[in-house]
Chains A and B, each alone.
Chain A
Amino acid sequence: MNTAKKTWCWVSVVAVLALALASCARATPPAPPTPTPVPLTPIPAKPRVVTITFTQEPDNLNPLYTNMWFVLTLRDLYLANGLLAYNDKNEPIPWIAKEIPSVENGGISADGKTITFKLRDNVQWSDGTPLTADDYVFTWQMIMDDKNTVVSRDPFDVAVEKVEAQDAHTLAVTFKEPYAPWQAKIFSNVDSTNALPKHILEPVFQKDSTLDNAEWNRKPTVGVGPFLFKGWESGSHLIFEANPNFWLGKPKVDQIFIRIVPDDAAQVAAIKAGDTDIGVFISYADVPDLQKLGTLDLPLVPSGYKESWFFNLSTREDKTKGHPALQDPKVRQAIVMAVDRNKICQDLLYGLTKPAVTFWDGMPYANPDIQPIPYDPEGAKKLLDEAGWKIGTDGIREKDGIKLKLRYATTPREVRKNTQVIVQQMWKEVGIDSELITHSPDIFWNSYGDNGPIATGQYDVAQWSTNPSFPDPDTAQWLCKEIPSDENPPGGNWQFFCDEELDGLFVKETATVDTQARIQLFYQIAKIISDQVYWVSIWDDPDLWSVSKKLKNVHFSGATPFWNAYEWEKTE
């Protein structure tokens, strides 16, 4: 035997032995007998499949038990029985309701407290049971029952007196006071309040005395939407198949396959390889590369979100206390004027977005007369001088022995950390010092009661992205009663600020059912917020989607992205 042959010979022996050893090692944990741990899912020969990547896995498919954006989006596929839906212009359109109730058509009572919806009588659950007003009443009862740990009772606990089925297809909702946000918040396709199938879930509730563990929550096989739930393999995918009896006609694609891809970079790779048709929450940094492919549309869909600065205005003599300089609106203005927000948008966000002017930009409620705060470092210096914050020996401004040093907190997202660094430099130019702080999201959002760093005021300027109750303009985060304290630990006004005039306008606005009058109130609200510099946007934060050009008729709405999934088409 020559050497080469000999070597080869025993190399192969070692390989065999290694295999044997390895299979021993493998046999130690209970290895699955076949490579297919879950039974085969039957799929038709050549279905037209739309593949969508989601970076987060849905938690619960019962809308009562989740606020997760991904689930609320999916719901337009399998449940889709909101009374109203929102189109790609974010306008309400009649959906299960035949028309939008108004004073003229008798849908809104004279005192503004009762709203009556006429439901379509040709809509059925996928098992053939008619969808009736009773389903909505049942849903309301389930939301309010203490035995169900639903995620939110908003707005049924605070605003709604009763929900009644006047007949099978007439639903009347009575409010305690006239309630302006009803279009978006009462059984719409937007918030977590679609109708549940009473005929399926009532027996479950009677048996378990809670809906928390209902099988339908995970397998909502009975639905009303254009697609029907077919399967969900934890961590991997969800499958929805076309509903042949959908009330607007059978959808034009056969299957929607939602694949969970948690890694952003992997999602982009999948988009580039053509392994997915729709992706969402694409990073702006990937846009130039994706555009080059020429196979994709990259729509920016406004969803009300604005990357924002919040100032800690707490004057309480406890841990919440913010920097005293922030009490002066001139200082707040100077802090903003010192920063070239347009340059941040250009450099970090590839010029795809720009600073929003009001909290309601992109909605009919935005006041068009409000001017953005300009980038003007000289003006900022002047304002700070006027406010008594003079440059000290170390180049940092000070007043009464207190340095103008701000704690600037945000979450560790790359773009936010980069923003922090740029802003720190720009502030330095005008003599403002800063300490950069980041908290991971699970810490950042903790409540006052759980010592959340923002909720307990451990910051002076904080940055995060938020929106009004989009597509409704309401927001609770500036209400005086929402200021967190030991008596009110869950409070959501993490700026600790209370402006009586603003508070009064917010209270008035929520009771103004007339849309035009409500718009005027929001004009006033935005004016105060702008004049007083209570809130500033760093950039408008629309959702960035990628859509394969093989798909036609995909028109996302910021409020209910998949509202027209029944019209989607796929060409090969």
Chain B
Amino acid sequence: MTRYILRRLLQAIPLLLIISAILFLLMEEMGDPLATFGGRRVLRSEDRARLTRQLGLDKPLWMQYVIWLAGNDWMRMDLDGDSIAESRGTRKGALRGDFGTSFVTRRPVSEMIIERLPNTLLLMGTAEVVILMFALLIGITSALKRYSLYDHTITAFSFIGYSMPIPLLALGLMYLFAVNFKRWGLPYFPTVGVFDPAVGRTAPQIIWHMVLPVAALSTISVAAYSRYIRASMLEVINQEYIRTARAKGLQERMILLRHALKNAALPLVTLVGLDLPLLLGGAIVTEGIFAWPGMGRLFIDHTTRSDFPVLMGILMMISVAVVVFQLITDITYTFLDPRIRYE
């Protein structure tokens, strides 16, 4: 097993290098980071020429990639535009853990990502917990009561939930529970943000502000997950070993949780293993609407400004997470199903 994990990790290195090269190539198509430097005006041509040089955007793409990867502290740069490279660079490059600085904020990319990560994990982690709770509950009960009124109702709502566009859902929740409930004099939720500035950043405030975004994030996924659980549960509970377990006189609870669910959980683990690394990327739409300061917002803000050091940082972090979570998923299989072995 240890050898297997080591091998997988070693394989990841060339994979990540290839991913980074492809991503960097795609960044070139993003547009010009200087395009938005003029604010509401077009940037003056003198400034555009100077910044192109100072920020190293005049270099060929492969050179920019080498600098991104290996830094430029081993070469000299031309800052004053006299075509003589006189100043030593200061960047260390991604291989040495320096993901560069944002063109827009001039701050280190890793710092910008790290300060958003807790917010995203808080929101997305909570949403994932809620999703799994409700999906298991709904999926298992509707599998057990297949074709009952309960199952049909749940099925109907699942399809409505699954086909709901998230911006509509998020804004709908906001208008109903924040704007209209307040108008009608009912207890209401806040519209946007993380806390009320008049109260301050307290835990109850944050939880209160999380309710609507978590509800918006969960609805669609609960609908999807519960369908998977229902299907795999149905497959399992009609199998012979379940009948055998019943014949042995085991308690129904034991049968369901120890015997049925463990086998039915395999597809769920695959699903969750694919979803978890993407959680790090945050939720672009939901974070935007509820003004939640997460990674999705960071990504979209810097996409609109073609700030590719930040985008590279976020995408590489997600790439690493995908590789790691795939490995974790594969290892989890061996615990759930002893027939699976890696050598």
List residues of chain A with CB under 8 Å of any chain B CB.
Answer: 6-7, 9-11, 13-15, 17-19, 21-23, 25-26, 28-32, 34-38, 40-43, 46-47, 49, 51, 53, 56-57, 59-60, 65-69, 72, 146-147, 149, 151-154, 157-158, 212-213, 217-218, 233-237, 239, 255, 257, 259-263, 265-267, 269-270, 272-275, 305, 440-447, 449-450, 452, 466-467, 469, 476-477, 482, 488, 490-492, 494
Q: Which A residues lie within 8 Å of B290 (CB)?
A: 266
Q: Is the CB of A447 within 8 A of B122?
A: no
Known contacts A29-B279, A262-B297, A442-B31: does B257 contact A490 (CB below 8 Å)? no
Interchain CB contact under 8 A, B171 and A266: yes
Query: Which residue, B35, B46, B122, has most C-beta atoms of chain A within 10 A?
Result: B35
Q: Does B118 contact A (CB under 8 A)?
A: yes
Please report whether the interface of chain B is mostly helix, strand, loop or mixed according to DSSP.
helix
Q: A38-B118, A262-B301 are in contact. List 11 more A-B contacts (CB 8 A).
A: A26-B125, A35-B203, A35-B207, A36-B202, A40-B202, A49-B198, A236-B193, A237-B194, A263-B291, A273-B188, A469-B41
A541 CA / B244 CA spacing, docked (Å) = 76
The answer to whether B294 touches A67, judged by C-beta atoms less than 8 angstroms apart, is: no
Is B116 a contact partner of A234 (Cβ separation < 8 A)?
A: yes
**Which DSSP category, helix, strand, loop or mixed, fits chain A's interface?**
loop
Measured CB to CB, the nearest residue on chain A to B206 is A35
Residue interface bits B116-133, CB-to-A below 8 A is 1, else 0: 101101100100110011
Most central of B106, B141, B207 by chain A CB within 10 Å: B106
Chain A residues within an 8 Å CB radius of B256: 10, 14
Is there contact, CB below 8 Å, between B200 and A274?
A: no
Q: A28-B328, A266-B289 are in contact. Are A65 and B122 (CB under 8 A)?
A: no
Chain B residues in the interface with A (C-beta under 8 A): 30-32, 34-52, 54-55, 79-81, 87, 101, 104-107, 112, 115-116, 118-119, 121-122, 125, 128-129, 132-133, 136-137, 140-141, 171, 174-175, 178-179, 182, 188, 190-194, 197-203, 206-207, 252-253, 256-257, 261, 272, 276, 279-280, 288-294, 297-298, 300-301, 303-306, 321, 325, 328
Chain B residue contacts of A46, Cβ below 8 A = 198
Shortest distance in angstroms between B213's beta carbon and chain A's nearest beta carbon? Answer: 11
C-alpha gap A81/B133 in the complex (Å):
56
Cα A449 to Cα B57 with chains together (Å): 11
Q: Which residues of A contact B304 (CB under 8 A)?
A: 441-442
Kindly list chain B residues whose C-beta atoms are within 8 Å of the C-beta of A263.
288-289, 291
Find out whether the CB atom of B129 lies under 8 angstroms from the CB atom of A26: yes
Sample (12) of A-B pairs whose CB atoms are under 8 Å apart: A10-B256, A14-B257, A26-B125, A56-B301, A151-B51, A269-B171, A275-B193, A467-B40, A467-B41, A482-B45, A490-B45, A490-B52
Assess the A491–B45 pair: CB atoms within 8 A: yes
| Cα–Cα, bound, A319→B6 (Å) | 55
On whether the beta carbons of B175 and A32 are closer than 8 Å, the reply is: no
Residue of B nearest to A445 (CB): B35
A104 to B241: give the CA distance in the assembly, Å: 102
Cβ-neighbour of B197 out of A43, A158, A260, A262 (below 8 A): A43
Is A266 touching B198 in the complex (CB atoms < 8 A)?
Answer: no
Contact B48 A490 (CB under 8 A): yes
Q: Which chain A residue lies CB-closest to B79?
A: A146
Q: How far is the CB of B111 from chain A (nearest CB, A)?
A: 9
CB contacts (< 8 Å) of B197 on chain A: these are 43, 49, 51, 237, 239, 255, 257, 259
| Set of chain B residues within 8 Å of A447, measured between Cβ atoms | 32, 34-35, 48
Closest 8 pairs (CB-CB, A-B) = A235-B293, A67-B39, A37-B118, A490-B45, A236-B293, A442-B31, A257-B197, A445-B35
Which among B42, B54, B115, B297 has the highest number of chain A CB atoms within 10 Å? B42
Q: Is the CB of A10 within 8 A of B252?
A: yes
A437 to B300 CA separation, bound complex (whole angstroms):
23
- Please state if A35 and B35 are interface contacts (CB–CB under 8 Å): no
A149 to B51, CA, bound (A): 6
- Min distance, Cβ A454 to any Cβ of chain B, angstroms: 10
Say yes or no: A305 contacts B125, CB within 8 Å: no
| B-chain residues with CB within 8 Å of residue A151 when the two chains form the complex | 37, 43, 47, 51
Contact B121 A29 (CB under 8 A): yes
For residue A450, which residues in chain B have a CB less than 8 angstroms away from its CB? 31-32, 35
Asked if A235 meets B297 with Cβ closer than 8 Å, knowing A10-B252, A152-B44, A213-B106, the reply is yes
| Nearest A residue (CB) for B108 | A213
